[in-house]
Amino acid sequence: MALRDGPAAQWRMTAVTTRDCARQSDALTALREGRFDALTPDAVAAAEAHLNHCAACADKLGAARPVSASDPLVQAPRQPAAAQWRRAWAVIADRSPSVSSIWRAGRAGILRSAWTPLAAAAACVMMVVSWRFAAPPVESGLWSLAAAGDVRVLEMDVGEGVTAMVGDGPTVVWILEPEMDAPS
Amino acid sequence: MTAPNVDPSEDVLIARAVHGDADARRELFERFREAAYAAALRVTGRPEDALDVVQDAFIKAFESLAGFARGASFKTWLLRIVTNRALDLLRAAKVRRAASLDQRNDGQDRDGLPDPPARGDEYETPGAGLERMELGERLARAVASLPPEQRAVFALYADGELTYADIAKIVGIPIGTVMSRLFHARRRLTEMLGDLAPTMRRKD
Ligand SMILES: [Zn+2]
């Protein structure tokens, strides 16, 4: 809970919270000990409201295990016969993948997803190297890459949803001839 | 929240099971199938549905085991899958039943499916027939007549090994709501089984 008014408010809130905890103490103890029948719906509603706002009481109760073993409303159900379990296991073994899917698909996924950034990184390294060392143009059949000494951008067409920005530092500008795609 | 009590050998089993070790998977199945079945039965109310839920849950668990956080409790994780599957099954049955009723009301032919199974809703009020049943069977039917969200909490409470924090995590609700649902579930069960009060003393 956020405290806005300094130490005095902190003291007030702590005092209120502690009083609330004390007020709920009997109900919370009854819940922890599984004495549900000792509580009324109103008492449970008040305890619920308190637990939703008091992490200390919620943690304390959360750490408890239900005492359901001594609850007469809890009876161990009759379990399937051995033959039924055997059949169930046969179905499970038959239908489960031999290797857990995240493991299996994960590696293919990693390779697929790694390809795009790897290609982009390679292109960037190429551009930076060619810019820094004023290397001769890098060319392929479809495109060429060369460092420009002085470029003024007068107009820039970008696709929908893309922001065009040219900063003061080194900037890469693709100049595309018609029908030519940038390397990717 | 307390750290889960995880048997160290469980982590080893899981690591082997991820890579498809059939013995490790079988060991996990044998360790946790009864808890899974008990929870599924308390939610679905029908043994055959419960066994289907257990099968589906283990298949799903083995499929996605690689995403399971090491050091967490496999049982808590499995019971989350079981509870979700069981609740999905109830919802699907409810939709089928509603569709079937609509068709009958429209005077159209039934879709050829068997009658939807009785889910216990008919047993909300104790009747003369109920008195002939054994305590365990009557309890199971009474539990099956609870609203699904109360059933799920009661099923996990009945397990006895989970903490209230585990139950809250599995169902995805705050601890206060766990206690409230549990209280109302027990109250309703006591009302339904009131005539059995003398035989239903605390077991301790
Ligand atoms: Zn408190």
A16 shares its domain with A60 = yes
**Is residue B70 included in any domain, yes or no?**
yes
Ligand 1 centroid – CA A173 distance (Å): 62
Q: How far apart are CA A142 and CA A13, in angstroms?
A: 71
**Interface contacts A/B by beta carbons within 8 Å:** 164
- Assign residue B41 the CATH number of its domain: 1.10.1740.10
**Is residue B23 included in any domain, yes or no?**
yes
A51 shares its domain with A90 = no
Q: Are B28 and B17 in contact (CB under 8 A)?
A: yes
**Is residue A141 included in any domain, yes or no?**
no
User: Can you give the pLDDT at residue B99?
Assistant: 76
**Is residue B25 included in any domain, yes or no?**
yes
User: Can you give the pLDDT at residue A97?
Assistant: 85
Ligand 1 centroid – CA B74 distance (Å): 31
pLDDT beneath 50, residues of chain A: 1-16, 102-113, 116, 160-162, 176-184
Give the nearest chain B residue to A29 (CA atoms): B179
DSSP string, B55-87: HHHHHHHHHSGGGSPTTS-HHHHHHHHHHHHHH
- What total of structural domains would you count in chain A? 2
- Start-to-end Cα distance in chain A: 50
Joined tokens for residue A13? 């809130």
Predicted TM-score of the model (pTM): 0.67
Q: CB within 8 A of A35, min separation 6: which ones?
A: none
Q: Are B186 and A36 in contact (CB under 8 A)?
A: yes
Higher pLDDT, B183 or A167: B183
Rounded (5°) CA angle B88-A76-A27: 80
Ligand 1 centroid – CA A69 distance (Å): 27
Q: Do A70 and B202 touch (CB under 8 A)?
A: yes
User: Can you give the pLDDT at residue B56?
Assistant: 97
Judged by DSSP in three states, A168 sits in coil
The pLDDT tens digits of the residues spanning B80-104 come to 999 999 999 998 887 877 777 666 6
Q: How far is A66 from chain B (nearest CA, A)?
A: 6
**Is residue B204 included in any domain, yes or no?**
no
Q: How far apart are CA A110 and CA A117, in angstroms?
A: 11
User: Can you give the pLDDT at residue B194?
Assistant: 79
Q: Of A157, A159, A138, whose CA–CA distance to A173 is shortest? A: A157
**Is residue A139 included in any domain, yes or no?**
no
Q: Are A120 and A184 in contact (CB under 8 A)?
A: yes
Strand ranges (DSSP E) for A102-159?
138-139, 144-145
Domain that holds residue B13: 8-196
Q: Do B59 and A96 touch (CB under 8 A)?
A: yes
Instruction: Give the residue-averaged pLDDT of B193-201.
Output: 67
- What total of structural domains would you count in chain B? 1
Domain that holds residue A32: 2-70
Q: How far apart are CA B158 and CA A66, in angstroms?
A: 8
A37 shares its domain with A64 = yes
**Is residue B1 included in any domain, yes or no?**
no
Give the nearest chain B residue to A50 (CA atoms): B176
The pLDDT tens digits of the residues spanning A59-76 come to 999 999 999 999 999 988
Q: How far apart are CA A72 and CA A76, in angstroms?
A: 11
Q: How far apart are CA A175 and CA A147, in angstroms?
A: 12
The pLDDT tens digits of the residues spanning B143-181 come to 989 999 999 999 999 999 999 999 999 999 999 999 999
Q: How far apart are CA B162 and CA A62, in angstroms?
A: 10
Of B42, B159, B176, the CB nearest to A48: B176
**Is residue B202 included in any domain, yes or no?**
no
Indicate the average pLDDT of chain B: 82
Q: Do B29 and A69 touch (CB under 8 A)?
A: no
**Is residue B22 included in any domain, yes or no?**
yes
**Is residue B136 included in any domain, yes or no?**
yes
Q: Which amino acid is at B69?
A: A
A6 shares its domain with A66 = yes
Q: Give the A window 9-28 contacts with B, CB below 8 Å.
A: none
Mutate to test the interface with A, among B44, B78, B150, B179 (most CBs of A within 10 A): B179
CB contact, 8 Å: A70 with chain B?
A: yes
User: Can you give the pLDDT at residue B137?
Assistant: 79
Instruction: Give the residue-averaged pLDDT of B107-124.
Output: 37
Helix (H) or strand (E) holding A159: none
Ligand 1 centroid – CA A71 distance (Å): 26
